[in-house]
Chain A
Amino acid sequence: MISHSQLAPQRPDRVVLLGGNGFIGDAIRRQLLGRDVNVLAPASADCNLLDPQSAAQLQSMLRPLDAVVMAAALTPDRGRDMGTFMKNLAMVQHLAAALAAVPCTHLVYFSSDAVYPAELSRVAEAAPASPRDLYGVMHYAREVMLREVKHVPILILRPTLVYGARDTHNAYGPNRFCRSAAGEGTISLFGEGEELRDHVHVDDVARLTVRCILHRSRGTLNVATGTSMSFRAVAQTVAGRFAPRQIDIRSTPRVTPVTHRHYDVANLVKAFPDFRFTAFEAGIAALVTDLQGEK
């Protein structure tokens, strides 16, 4: 559940965007610039959060009227080991030290739905966080660390599966399906692709984040569309974008049990009752177009 500190949207003096060159960060930066919001997105060369010196560097960058968006993390493709886990915590340790010295007006932390147990089939913000792997524990620990920072209103965003052209993770789902369909003309499913999941377009994540910044929202919010579909349905939608080319959707032997995940988006609706998500078909169409443009 989140609450808005500013009922009428109001631009902050500046948004300091950490992780602004990442998949989600870049989309947020574009949305903010589109709304004429002053954005500072330091590159890791200017402020490498892994470096203990980054606390002082950030402290010198921050102004009291800034809003800070923390979207920087070493994602699972960079490692799922304890070393990566500790590095991720160190990044937030340095940010927290800077914020303790220069409290800003608003902090948005990009967490993950990995804080919820994987077997949870229906997710609402009230569900207890109970992560099962180091990646989920890392995000939850970071949430707690940042909540400990005094005098900084914080919003925790927990996005579910995010897709979009600039995603470099190539995780199982729309992005991988589009790339393999475009390349090999095949889409390979785990089992029959029965699992139901909620997929949200990165531009929707960014638009929602910007709204939260403009309203200086605080609390915890899952970022999901409220509509789940099977991976097979995702594959079929992707394949449909390549017509008349035939895309071969292949099943593979199942090695893990089928689990489903649905989101109760009532809190999102209460916070932004007019927010409209990109229709999945339109999102996939944009993704395919963007990927073809990249080529």
Chain B
Amino acid sequence: MLPRIGFAGMTHLGLVSAVAASEKGFGVVCFDPEAGHVRLLTEGRWPIAEAQLDELAVKNRGRLRFSADPVALRACDIVYVAPDVPTDDAGGSDLGAISALLDQVSSAVSDETVVVILSQVPPGFTREKQRRIRNLYYQVETLIFGRAVERALRPERYVVGCADPAQPLPARLAAFLAVDGCPILPMRYESAELAKIAINMCLVASVSTANTLAELCERIGAEWSEIVPALKLDRRIGEHAYLAPGLGIAGGNLERDLATVCTLADRYGTDADVVRAWVANSRHRRDWALTTLWKHVLTGTQDPVIAVLGLTYKENTHSVKNSPALALLDNLQSFATRVYDPVVSSPPGTRPRCHRAASALEACEGADALAVMTPWPEFRRLDPAEIASRMRGGIVLDPYAVFSAVACRSAGMRYLTLGSPPKD
């Protein structure tokens, strides 16, 4: 008989994980202490955007049960505690909500229930909670916003933190994880918690390398896009390496890990200067769009109009956490802006000179410059000639290279992107 799986905390991580478990054939109980939130979920009104999520939720609705009563979790063999852990502006985690949720879950379930922390927590957190929850484990999640369902359905490996990794995993947990046929790596809590951070640090190192060298490319006449294939064919780097230059680290999760490493290094006296350098580089690259607009548009055009396509911090997500687009708009408040995003209706806050357009092309109407701040797939389908015909000016900032540089130049626009020297 298949184990029944519970998920506590129905935000992004919990929802995606619960739907993925149901898709694998398991009966799933979805608990959240907010009754209003549970009601919306029951009605199919989900607060997040993720590829495949809505379809799979509908397909597996017979296996998904939502409840605001923690007693519903008593029917489960394994309960994953999976709320999104909020972070502050400095990347520090607020662990209050997950601690409260753990208390609720442990009070509701029996001692035999396997409780697994799936949220991102700092090293030491699980060991401290294990004093009160006997069957407690920590499992690394490697969710990627925009590809979260795909990652949950086809994990590369499971990293499981245990009180004592020499002891076998509980049979029910082992059975649940074995369904995917991927390696299962048991290790002590602290190692697993740090493994999650280690994965993200490696990603940040790659991205920071790409950003650092892409900026150099822009100055010395090299093309980063020509260099990337050479790197990906090197086995020590690999074809899936994060080598696309971007506008700094955003989304919250990577920033959290950077902050955690710095905090731990400060506490234990280890060296984290390289991590601080990554943070500084991220902030520096986030300003690329602003400083480029300043150089090419803001100081040379009377009352310029700036079109901004994309508000989320990356494509295929609803999240605007640390979004470069919002950072840009914050610094353009004295200018007229026209914005469009496929998911986020309007940027938060009062912005009297910001017009929310109904489409990407409408956003371009009368603009002196266009900044494509999120590489949404629908933007790739836009015709640069059509964009040029709608705009008043001809500057295109396309950091993620969603358009063809050649097509933009053919349309008479000045095309500026990351990792490539400006060309007239």
- The interface of chain A, by Cβ under 8 A from chain B, is 124, 126, 226, 264-266, 269-270, 273-277
* 0/1 interface trace, chain B 162-197, chain A, CB 8 Å (1 if under): 000000000000000000000000000000000000
Please determine whether B334 and A269 come into contact, CB atoms closer than 8 angstroms: no
Option from A124, A126, A269 in Cβ contact (under 8 Å) with B294 = A269
Which has the most chain A C-beta neighbours within 10 Å: B290, B294, B295, B334? B294
* 0/1 interface trace, chain B 259-299, chain A, CB 8 Å (1 if under): 00000000000000000000010001001001100110011
Please determine whether A274 and B280 come into contact, CB atoms closer than 8 angstroms: no
Please determine whether B290 and A270 come into contact, CB atoms closer than 8 angstroms: yes
Expressed in whole angstroms, the minimum distance between the Cβ of B213 and any Cβ of chain A is: 15
* 0/1 interface trace, chain B 325-363, chain A, CB 8 Å (1 if under): 000000110110000000000000000000000000000
Option from B284, B299, B300, B335 in Cβ contact (under 8 Å) with A264 = B284
Expressed in whole angstroms, the minimum distance between the Cβ of A281 and any Cβ of chain B is: 16
Please determine whether A273 and B332 come into contact, CB atoms closer than 8 angstroms: yes
Residues of B within 8 A of A277 (CB): 299
Please determine whether A226 and B298 come into contact, CB atoms closer than 8 angstroms: no
* 0/1 interface trace, chain B 307-334, chain A, CB 8 Å (1 if under): 0000000000000000000000001101
Please determine whether B331 and A269 come into contact, CB atoms closer than 8 angstroms: yes
Residues of A within 8 A of B298 (CB): 269, 273-274
A270 to B294, CA, bound (A): 9
Please report whether the interface of chain A is mostly helix, strand, loop or mixed according to DSSP: loop
Option from B280, B284, B300, B335 in Cβ contact (under 8 Å) with A273 = B335
A276 to B296, CA, bound (A): 11
Please determine whether A266 and B299 come into contact, CB atoms closer than 8 angstroms: no
Residues of B within 8 A of A264 (CB): 284
Question: What would 9 A/B residue contacts be, using CB atoms closer than 8 Å?
Answer: A226-B295, A264-B284, A266-B291, A269-B287, A269-B291, A270-B331, A273-B298, A273-B334, A276-B300
Residues of A within 8 A of B295 (CB): 226
- The interface of chain B, by Cβ under 8 A from chain A, is 280, 284, 287, 290-291, 294-295, 298-300, 331-332, 334-335
Residues of B within 8 A of A226 (CB): 291, 295
Residues of A within 8 A of B300 (CB): 276
Please determine whether A266 and B334 come into contact, CB atoms closer than 8 angstroms: no
Please determine whether A126 and B280 come into contact, CB atoms closer than 8 angstroms: yes
Given known pairs A273-B298, A273-B331, A274-B299, the reply for A266 and B280 (CB within 8 Å) is no
Residues of A within 8 A of B332 (CB): 273
A273 to B369, CA, bound (A): 15
Please determine whether B290 and A269 come into contact, CB atoms closer than 8 angstroms: yes
Residues of A within 8 A of B290 (CB): 266, 269-270, 273
Please determine whether A275 and B284 come into contact, CB atoms closer than 8 angstroms: no
* Nearest neighbor of B288 in chain A, beta-carbon distance: A266
Please determine whether A274 and B284 come into contact, CB atoms closer than 8 angstroms: no
* Nearest neighbor of A275 in chain B, beta-carbon distance: B299
Residues of A within 8 A of B284 (CB): 124, 264, 266
Residues of B within 8 A of A124 (CB): 284
Residues of B within 8 A of A266 (CB): 284, 287, 290-291
Please determine whether B299 and A276 come into contact, CB atoms closer than 8 angstroms: yes
* Nearest neighbor of A127 in chain B, beta-carbon distance: B280
Please determine whether B291 and A265 come into contact, CB atoms closer than 8 angstroms: yes
Which has the most chain B C-beta neighbours within 10 Å: A273, A275, A277? A273
A276 to B287, CA, bound (A): 18
A215 to B241, CA, bound (A): 46
Residues of A within 8 A of B331 (CB): 269-270, 273
* Nearest neighbor of B332 in chain A, beta-carbon distance: A273
Expressed in whole angstroms, the minimum distance between the Cβ of B84 and any Cβ of chain A is: 29
A264 to B280, CA, bound (A): 12
* Nearest neighbor of B300 in chain A, beta-carbon distance: A276
Expressed in whole angstroms, the minimum distance between the Cβ of B273 and any Cβ of chain A is: 12
Expressed in whole angstroms, the minimum distance between the Cβ of B156 and any Cβ of chain A is: 37
* Nearest neighbor of A276 in chain B, beta-carbon distance: B299
Residues of B within 8 A of A269 (CB): 287, 290-291, 294, 298, 331
Residues of A within 8 A of B294 (CB): 269, 273
A27 to B305, CA, bound (A): 33
Residues of B within 8 A of A265 (CB): 291
**Which 7 pairs, one residue from A and one from B, show the smallest C-beta to C-beta distance?**
A266-B287, A276-B299, A269-B294, A270-B331, A273-B298, A266-B291, A269-B291
Task: Add 12 more A-B contacts to A124-B284, A266-B284, A274-B335 (CB < 8 A).
Answer: A226-B291, A264-B284, A265-B291, A266-B290, A269-B290, A269-B294, A269-B298, A273-B290, A273-B294, A273-B335, A274-B299, A277-B299
A220 to B127, CA, bound (A): 44
A265 to B290, CA, bound (A): 11
Expressed in whole angstroms, the minimum distance between the Cβ of B350 and any Cβ of chain A is: 13
* Nearest neighbor of B294 in chain A, beta-carbon distance: A269
A126 to B300, CA, bound (A): 28
* Nearest neighbor of A267 in chain B, beta-carbon distance: B287
A95 to B287, CA, bound (A): 37
Expressed in whole angstroms, the minimum distance between the Cβ of A22 and any Cβ of chain B is: 28
Residues of B within 8 A of A270 (CB): 287, 290, 331
Expressed in whole angstroms, the minimum distance between the Cβ of A70 and any Cβ of chain B is: 29
